[in-house]
Structure 1
């Protein structure tokens, strides 16, 4: 079930984020992981947050702002079960998501978005926080 996220869900979102990032972002330096973990909750209030439940528990979430998929994370215990696909499809169908920025070094995510119909428009050498993690700016082509 996909539903709106409430502030009471924020601790679970952080658990999901940490689990997902630890298993997909092996390129992150430890100090940057700590930096992002502290920063991520401040982003929640700036996006529309939607979560997906499995067995009555949040298993993943996404954040959307003006047609941009700002974040999508699935807890590692629930990966490869189609939850990411359900979330992104919902975002495309209900929130007109057409763009996503993804870490170039996160090859699983890049492949996932390509599979979902996104193509790379351009590449930035630095991420949004000015750190040296290249970002691919992708757009949906149907």
Structure 2
């Protein structure tokens, strides 16, 4: 587990690929063009985020990105899921924050169950303006 203070081009490319592939896989209910259209914004904001990465042999297998106390995303390479990497990344973020907030699509059942098991509480349900999908705002303290 490592906190990134700066992101080089190779790392950024790996993070963007992991971000896109994970979103496409976890959110089949959202048109893939939406995620592809978000790439320029993510490319700009990732280096500004608080990032924790999980690597092996210089390959990034997972990462969590935060903006202040907001978890912008938690992503793990598909073939490495369910091995505890996401939990380790989340715990690294929890160790450095007293409170964390996130939004998760209601249809992303695995993620909702994961965050509930990690003691996040559903604060409210709302409609995501960009996708018209229902999402939960969840908080951990």
TM range (shorter): 0.7 to 0.9
The residue that corresponds to 1:113 in the other structure is 115
Task: Count matched residues.
Answer: 139
CA offsets per residue over residues 26-84 of structure 1, 9 Å max, x none? 11113213223343212213421221113442101111122111111111121111000
Query: Are the aligned partners of 2:20 and 2:36 in contact in 1 as well (CA < 8 Å)?
Result: no
Distance 2:44 2:134 in 1: 22
TM-score, with normalisation over the residues of structure 2? 0.87
* CA shift for structure 1 position 85: 0.2
Distance 2:96 2:22 in 1: 24
Distance 1:40 1:66 in 2: 16
* CA shift for structure 1 position 115: 0.8
Query: Are the aligned partners of 1:2 and 1:87 in contact in 2 as well (CA < 8 Å)?
Result: no
TM-score, with normalisation over the residues of structure 1? 0.86
2:92 is aligned with 1:53: no
Unaligned runs of 5+ in 2: none
Query: Are the aligned partners of 1:62 and 1:71 in contact in 2 as well (CA < 8 Å)?
Result: yes
The residue that corresponds to 1:137 in the other structure is 137
2:79 is aligned with 1:77: yes
| Deviating 4+ runs (over 3 angstroms) | none
Kindly report the root-mean-square deviation, in angstroms, between the aligned alpha carbons of the 2 structures. 1.8
The residue that corresponds to 2:105 in the other structure is 103
* CA shift for structure 1 position 104: 1.5
